[in-house]
Structure 1
Amino acid sequence: MMTCTLDLYTDYLLSSTGPTTATGLSRLLDGALSHDHITRWLSQGTYGPAEVWRQAKPLIRQAEARRPAGKFAVLIVDDSVLEKAHTDANELICTHWDHSQQRYVKGLNFVSLLY
Structure 2
Amino acid sequence: MSEPGPDEGQGDGRAQRSRSRPDSGRAIAAELKLSARYINQLLEAEGTSLSRYIWSRRLDRCAEQLKDPALRARGVSQIAMDNGFNDLSHFSKAFRMKFGLAPRDYRNGLAMLS
Same fold per superposition (TM over 0.5):
no
Structure with more of its chain in helix, by fraction: 2
Larger Rg: 1
TM-score by length of 2: 0.36
Length-normalised TM-score, structure 1: 0.36
Per residue, is there more strand in 1 or in 2? 1
